[in-house]
Structures are given as C-alpha cells and as structure tokens.
Structure 1
Amino acid sequence: MSGNASSSAFEAAYGFARSDVRLSNWRQAPWNVWAFRHVSELIPTARIAATPGLTEDAVVDPRDLLRLPLPVGGDNMTIADGLRSTFTDALVVMKSGRVIADYHAPNFTLQSRHILFSSSKSVTAVVAGIVHNDGLIDLDAPVPTYVPELGSSAYADARIRDVLDMRVSLDFSETYQDPRGDFARYRRAGLLEPAVPGDTPDSLIPFLASLQKGPGDHGGPFHYCSPNSDVLGLVIERATGQRFNDFVSERLWQPIGARQDAYITVDATGLARTGGGFCMAPRDFARIGELMRLGGTLDGRRILSDNWVEDTIAHGSPEAWRAGPGVEWLPEGRYSNKWYQTGNANSAFFTLGIHGQMLYVDPVAELTVAKFSSQPEPVNNDLKRLNLALFDALAKQA
C-alpha cells in the first residue's frame, strides 16, 4: 500500500491523521483512541515476552451479552449502552474460567495491546507478591533497605507495606491537569509528556529522591500517589537483581500462559514505569484476574501464594479508606496491595486506571471482566460508578 493510501486508510478508520497524534496530546480525545493502543510508537518501552507458540481461540460473539439490561437509575439501558457511555475499547467477560464474550470497538482485535495506566499498579503488586514469596522482600523493612538512593526522601522511613497500601505520607498531589506541578514533573520524568521551557529533565530515580514527607506519619490515611508504585518496581528490581520486564516475563507472563507479548514504558535510563506503563492484550489482562480469582493458581500451577491473594482481597483498612477521598465513589471500599475492594456482598475486587482501565473479579459469581477504555477525562467518578454497576449486572446475569 502506498503512503498516501495508507494515510487515507488511517484517517478513514480514526477520523484524523497519524501525524496529528503527539506526545503533547496523546491522552486527549479523539487522539487517545489510537494512542492508547499504540503507546510504543510514542514512548520508549521494554518487552515482556510471552511463551512462543501459544495462540488465542476465536473471538466469542458478545451480542447476547450486550442485550442484557443494565439497571441504572431507572433508565431502560442495556450492557451495550453502558459500554458506549464509558467509551469502551475492549471488554472480555470470563465465567467459571471460560471466555463467554469479547467486545471490541472498531479497529481493535484480540492481538491489540492497550495501556493499563494505574491498573499497572495492581499488576506490579502481584509481581511483588511473587518476590515476597521467594523471601526476597520484607514488607516491614524501610524502602532504603532496597533503594538507598531514597534515603533522604519521604521514603526514608516508609515501609514496603505502606507503599503497597498507599499509606505513605507524601507531599505530592495527583493533579492531572496542572502542567507545572509535581505530577506533571513526574510524568515528564517517565517520558510521558514533552519537556517544557525552563524544565530540567529528570529520570524516575532522581524525581523519586526529590519527594518529601507530608504531614503525619506513614501508615495513616489512604493517600493515592502514583510514585509509590514506581518505588515498588524499584524495590522489585533491586531485590531480584533482574530488570523488571525480564522478571515479569519469567515469573508471571509466561506462567499464566499469556498469548501476546506485553510491554511497559521506560524512562530515559530504561527503568520501567511500574506505576502506569503496562500495555497488554485484553484476554491476557483477564488472565491476571483469573489468577487472583483462583487464589494464585492458574491451570493447576501455583504462581502466587494464597496468603498474598487473601491479604489482597480480604484485608485493607476501612478506617484508612474512609479518611481518604475514595469514599465519595466507593463508600464501602478498602485498598490492599494496590487492589480495590468493593465491600459488596460478593466481596468483589478490582483494579483501576485513569481513562477507564479496569479488571474486575467477583469470586462468588466466578466472574472476571477486563475492560479497556478511552474516556476523554482522566478521572470521572460518575463513570466509575457506571462501570461498577455494569460489572455487577454481568455478575448477576451473565
């Protein structure tokens, strides 16, 4: 196909030219629809290799599932309406270990890979659980035990457990729209945004080392800060002596039978951005949910300890959660090992990333749902609630 024909095909598929998508606008609509599926064309990445020779089964027709009612606010909505309203790119529904529906937006396939954003944190915590089971991480040890470069930062006296549960006292605000604040500097350190005039570029370690303690002690209220999860990735690298992506491939990706290579964004030094850089195919994302649903085993193979899974899905401090802002959209929630717990009757739990990336597990209904989205806004509490209502409807009807 000639260059002009290729460009015309791209514009016909997405409504804009490939040249329109830049590092300065890749998270904004409408360009995010393409960019979230092609992150490696915008940001440096490291490969997470799948086992060669494994292939996916055929797509499972979702039409019966899409017709199911979605009872929200008395409206006569269907699951299909809910998917459109939440800007869904892909949905995989698994019931009792079997894929029962694949939904793909236009130009998305079983092989397409999509960024997880902060759902990456939950995957990183699964990896931490594997390392902990190997006896290489002490959860009560302070962070500088593994990363001495952080000895003068807020993390000097923070335990690994505080990092896992987002209970680090940190002078940091997750302000997505401020181009000059600490969060923007953090994103630039991860090569996620272009440099700005007068900016001194950082890589992740110098940025993390610059963060200072906030008011109060560590181990207090739930305080969501993405850098905590990059600290956890650093701890994993130092404890294992391997690059993060290589360890993930060997100890998680290949053992769960992932069919597609994944990748993770890296900074200028090649350090993985474990707080938000995972990119993977939808069914492989669902396989991580199945691993958690089955208590750390998959296809009869023990990958993660059942104690770690139990700690993740059944613990977490209700008091710490109620003291944080998440109570507004998840009143009965808790947070443990970077996974959210709904507090509902089925003890469902889930991951969450900006722009609508979620992995939802209902152990009673034996349901796992992986969802990729391209919501225009990074954070929208109404859409969080709608997504949770959608998952609950699937648990009751699928």
Structure 2
Amino acid sequence: MVDASAFKATHGFERSEVRLCNWRAAPWNVWAFRNVSEFIPTARIAAASGLTEEPVVDAGELLRETFLLNGRSITVAEALRETSTDAMVVMKSGRIVADFHAPDFTLQSRHILFSVSKSVTSIIAGILRDDGLLDFDERVPCYVPELEASAYDDARVCDVLDMRVNLDFEEIYHDRHGSHARYRRAGLFDPPEPGGGMETVVEFLAGLKKGKADHGEAYQYASPNSDVLGLVIQGASGRRFPDLASERLFRPLGARQDAYVTVDRAGTPRTGGGINMTARDLARIGEMMRNGGTADGNRIVSQNWVHETVTGGSRKAWAESASVSWLPHGRYHNKWYQTGSGAFFALGIHGQWLYIDPRATMVVAKFSSQPDAIVDDAKDFNLALFDALASIV
C-alpha cells in the first residue's frame, strides 16, 4: 500500500492526482513516464533470464565537463537539468562509462519511449525481412486485411517505414478534438469523451482516409503508420508483437529487465509510442545497431538491414518537409533519423533519445520529462549535448 503522505512529500502531488487527462503534463509526467503500467494496460516483453545488472557507473566527472552552446559555456549537469532529464546512459566502445539518474530513478526503472518505440519496432520488421516473411514492397493489406479500404489500401510497407504514406491526418499533440485526439483515445492514452464510443486502434486505423497526393512521395510524420507496422509484423509472423520482440530482440540482446508495451482494449500493442524499458537496455539496442546488428556474439538483424537503415532514405523527401528546419542535412529511413554527418538516432516526444555516433564509438540513451511534447530548440540543445559528449568521453 502506498503511503500517501510519503508519496506527496517525494513528488509534490498525490498519486490520485495522476490521471489520463494530465499524465503527459508537468508536474505529473515526471512520475507518470516511469509508471505507465499503473494507468494504461500493458503486455510484457520478457528479458533474458539469469542476467543481472552491473553496479551504477558514477557520472560525476562527466557531469562537471563543460561545452559551448550558442556561445555559452555550460556543464553537462546543467544541460541535463535544463532538458528535464530523468536518466542518461553513455556507452563508449561497448562499455558503459556513465549513468545519470534523477531522484527516484534506478537501474530497474522503466520509462516510456514514446516514438523511440517506432525505431525499436522497425528492428523487428528488419528481422522478419531477413527471415523472408516480410516484403517491404508489398501492400499493407496483404498482411493486415482489415486495412483494405483505408488510406493504407495501396500503401507499401516501405512507405509505412519511411513515413511516406499520404494521410488525411494531423499530428497535433495538444489538439483535444481532431484526428490525433481520436488516435490517443483509441490507444487508451487519453480518457474517452463523455458519452462517446470507444474505438480500438484497428478501428481507428481502418477509418483513416488517404490525402490528395500519392504514397511514396513526401515525408509526412504520422504516428499511426508505426502502429500499422506493428500490425504488419503480427500479420507476417503470426505472432503477438510482445512475444516476438522478446524472442528475437530483447532476449538475444541480453536485456536485463522486462520491458512492456501499452495495449488497447482489444490487446493491440501501441508500437508507435507505447514501449517502456530501462535506459541501459535501450542503450544496448543502440550498441547492437552500432555493431551492425550483433550483440554479445548474437546476430539479431542483418548487417545489410542496419547499413541500409543508417545510410538510405530519400534526401529529397526530407528536404521538402518541415523537419528540415531542425535537421537540415537529415534523412529518415526505416523509422531512424540520420544527421547527415554519420550519426543516427531515434527520437520521442518529451525528450526521449537513442543516439548513436559510430565515428566516436558512442551510444547515448536519454529519458526526459520535458513539459512540452515537442520543441525544436530542445532538439537542437540535445544534439549539441551529444556532439559535446562525443568529444568528451
């Protein structure tokens, strides 16, 4: 039983104050992002058995290092504080060199990835392609018949992977009444409307309409595409996503702690934004990607898929999108971002990052509870931090 007075003394609010209507807002999000399974249904993604975590690696020396940000000298500790960081793991040449934990965060604490989930999910798609079970050039309804008459009717799996599906959908995080609000409600991320019905994720996706242009052209960021990818994975494999993710990724990776993924009322996993895991296990995924698809001697996904993911994609599609303003030399392929300078990363709202710099042999996993869902200045801040870390560690 939770001691209500102790909870309030620690967090500044009562546990009963955290609800579906406010869990992504400050100050409640700091606790909520670490405890999603208390208010949204989840499915377990089992870790490897018999493995334990090594002790925390003190980050004190690293936190005192300074770097320049827009002409201002700032310490790493100040940068973490100003970006509302909950945890950060830094790996160098396969070794953990620093763990940062905010108060009440531990090696066992799991945190929601939000859209970093998309990049994790794409690895499972790559594994199925390696197995010959998934054809990226095939139409989505070949794997998910329920989407036959939707916007995805003539979309290919590769269009879904590269966010080049033309949807009549706007990703507006603070909109309480549009298509994105319906999407959140279907995934149980928001409370139902008073007196309104409750769609499942599949019902919501099946009702999406195509935009005016063709698929496969412009880059249009839309989270529903990544839930479609989860359904494609289940259709191609005949397996539940969390079971497949455990068997083919988390266990061979050597993940130390079980992860989990949120599900809707029909049990459909929110692969577009609902995976929760520890910072160290996320860093291990990044290290696997840095090593071309291997971890602890286990081949998880092909080197060809990793190489294609971190070097492919359309420069034109990115350059013509609004995202070019914050990543001018970037590209997006297989649900991973490329910086244009060799580094690549996964990114989620409120400041979730998995950043890999192969030239610096560095991986950074960073969890945050930024008050705003998405701010381009915060992205610039974090990218500057990662560049600085690459020269420090």
TM-score by length of 1: 0.98
Structure 1 residues 56-205: aligned runs within 5 Å: 56-205=53-202
Match of 1:278?
A: 275
Deviations 1:61-101 (A, max 9, x none): 00111111121011120111110110000000000000000
Match of 1:33?
A: 30
Structure 1 residues 243-258: aligned runs within 5 Å: 243-258=240-255
Distance, in Å, in 2 between the alignment partners of 1:20 and 1:157 is 45
Q: 1:390 aligns with which of 380, 385, 392?
A: 385
Deviations 1:293-316 (A, max 9, x none): 000001111110011101110111
Distance, in Å, in 1 between the alignment partners of 2:161 and 2:195 is 34
Is 1:380 equivalent to 2:375 in the alignment?
A: yes
Distance, in Å, in 1 between the alignment partners of 2:340 and 2:9 is 44
Match of 1:13?
A: 10
Distance, in Å, in 2 between the alignment partners of 1:199 and 1:166 is 30
Is 1:260 equivalent to 2:287 in the alignment?
A: no
Residue 198 of structure 1 deviates from its aligned partner by 4.2
- SS of the counterpart of 1:65? helix
State the one-letter code of the partner of 2:230: G
State the one-letter code of the partner of 2:147: L
Backbone CA RMSD of aligned residues: 0.8
Residue 53 of structure 1 deviates from its aligned partner by 1.6
State the one-letter code of the partner of 2:51: L
Is 1:340 equivalent to 2:340 in the alignment?
A: no
- SS of the counterpart of 2:253? coil
Greater displacement, 72-81 / 24-33: 72-81
Distance, in Å, in 2 between the alignment partners of 1:377 and 1:358 is 15
- SS of the counterpart of 1:361? strand
Q: What are the ranges of 5 or more consecutive residues in structure 2 without an aligned counterpart? A: none
Q: What are the ranges of 5 or more consecutive residues in structure 1 without an aligned counterpart? A: none
Residue 197 of structure 1 deviates from its aligned partner by 2.2
State the one-letter code of the partner of 2:375: N
Match of 2:225?
A: 228
Residue 200 of structure 1 deviates from its aligned partner by 2.2
Q: 1:349 aligns with which of 325, 344, 348?
A: 344
Residue 172 of structure 1 deviates from its aligned partner by 0.4
Greater displacement, 53-62 / 197-206: 197-206
Q: 2:293 aligns with which of 288, 291, 296?
A: 296
Distance, in Å, in 1 between the alignment partners of 2:255 and 2:187 is 26
Deviations 1:22-69 (A, max 9, x none): 111000000000000000001000000112221100000001111111
Is 1:322 equivalent to 2:319 in the alignment?
A: yes
Residues 70 and 82 of structure 1 are in contact (CA less than 8 Å); yes or no, is this contact kept in structure 2?
Answer: no
Match of 1:360?
A: 355
Residue 10 of structure 1 deviates from its aligned partner by 1.0
Distance, in Å, in 1 between the alignment partners of 2:197 and 2:219 is 31
- SS of the counterpart of 2:360? coil
Residue 121 of structure 1 deviates from its aligned partner by 0.2
Consecutive aligned runs of 4 or more in structure 1 exceeding 4 Å deviation: none
State the one-letter code of the partner of 2:369: S
State the one-letter code of the partner of 2:214: D
Alignment size in residue pairs: 393
